Chains A and B, each alone.
Chain A
Amino acid sequence: MSPVTANTFDAPKAGRWPLFGWLSFAFFAFAQVYAVATSPADQMMGHLQKMMYVHVPAAWVTFVAFGIVLWTSVLFLWKEDERHDLMAAAAAEIGAVFCGLTLILGMIWGRPTWGVWWSWDARLTSTLVLFLIFVGYLALRSFVEDAQRRGQWSAAVGILGAINVPIVWMSVKWWRTLHQLQSDPRSLSGEYALGLVLNALAFLFLMIFFIRRRYEAARYERAAEHASQAAALGGYNG
């Protein structure tokens, strides 16, 4: 019930994060080149296997981002510190982008492999539902002005959405097994593993960088609102 504490609105610091960003992008470029150069053509999938190095890390990073949304939402409802709410918003925005990327990459992979752009299997469908939940979450944030209200509502929506995703996965899986069994041809042999791990780390670093900088922007916005409020109430240094 208590209003969000005021001492959290000091301006954020960029610190070494720009350097971290440069290193992340360099490492990402290295991981991509390494993976594409070293992986032999797969017996089943041929060179299409190389898509694994962008699709699978994007999918993993999506779920990590949504995990951050869940975790910071719980923390916000618990501790009522607005920084957690801003972090949840940043993670949701970055996560939504990676989720959309995952879906489109999956379609580009599915078309030559399965012959269709989309298949209603549990993994695809629950990822799509996750994307829709991200979109709803961000829409809710953009439609609510009051900070306290926006924080508590979006935390509730984030937590319920996180509960929903495994349930969707379970129900769609059961739905699919009844209709027809579709085997998933994705499997991983040793010579592809290192490239995948490197790319997964690179995506993880990029995600951390993006979320941190987005969070910084959100902190600046809130700090600006408070500075102008304080100015209106009679002097910033008073």
Chain B
Amino acid sequence: MASNEWGYVGAAYALTWIVLFLLLARVLGAVRRAKAEYESAVKGGYNA
């Protein structure tokens, strides 16, 4: 058994939280970008 088991446990939990928050930022960013793109496309349509 490893003596520094808390180190491994801490690394695992930290990694999980970091990955989940990065994923959250990425997904929400994708939604925001796509929504802006859609709205400008619709607006461009009305102008034309």
Q: How many interface residues does B have (CB within 8 Å)? A: 32
Task: Report B8-44 CB contacts with A as 1/0, cut-off 8 Å.
Answer: 1101110110011001100110110111011011101
On whether the beta carbons of A217 and B31 are closer than 8 Å, the reply is yes
Residue A101 interfacial (CB < 8 Å): yes
Contact of A112 with B42 at beta-carbon distance under 8 Å, contacts A55-B12, A97-B23, A224-B37 already known: no
Q: Are B45 and A228 in contact (CB under 8 A)?
A: yes
Cβ-defined contact, B12 with A108, below 8 A? yes
A214 contacts partner chain B, Cβ-Cβ < 8 Å: yes
Q: Which residues of A contact B44 (CB under 8 A)?
A: 227-228, 231
Number of A-B contacts (CB under 8 A): 112
Shortest CB-to-CB span from A82 to chain B, Å, is 15
Instruction: Label chain B's interface by main secondary structure.
Output: helix
Known: A217-B31, A221-B37. A47 touches B6 (CB 8 A): yes
A sample of 6 cross-chain residue pairs with beta-carbon separation below 8 angstroms, ordered by A number, consists of A48-B1, A108-B15, A210-B23, A214-B30, A217-B30, A223-B41
Other 13 A-B pairs with CB < 8 A, given A45-B1, A210-B23, A230-B45: A28-B20, A36-B13, A48-B2, A58-B16, A105-B15, A213-B31, A214-B31, A216-B34, A220-B34, A220-B38, A223-B38, A231-B41, A237-B46
Return the 10 tightest CB-CB contacts between A and B, nearest first: A236-B45, A231-B45, A220-B34, A112-B2, A217-B30, A224-B38, A227-B41, A224-B41, A217-B34, A228-B41
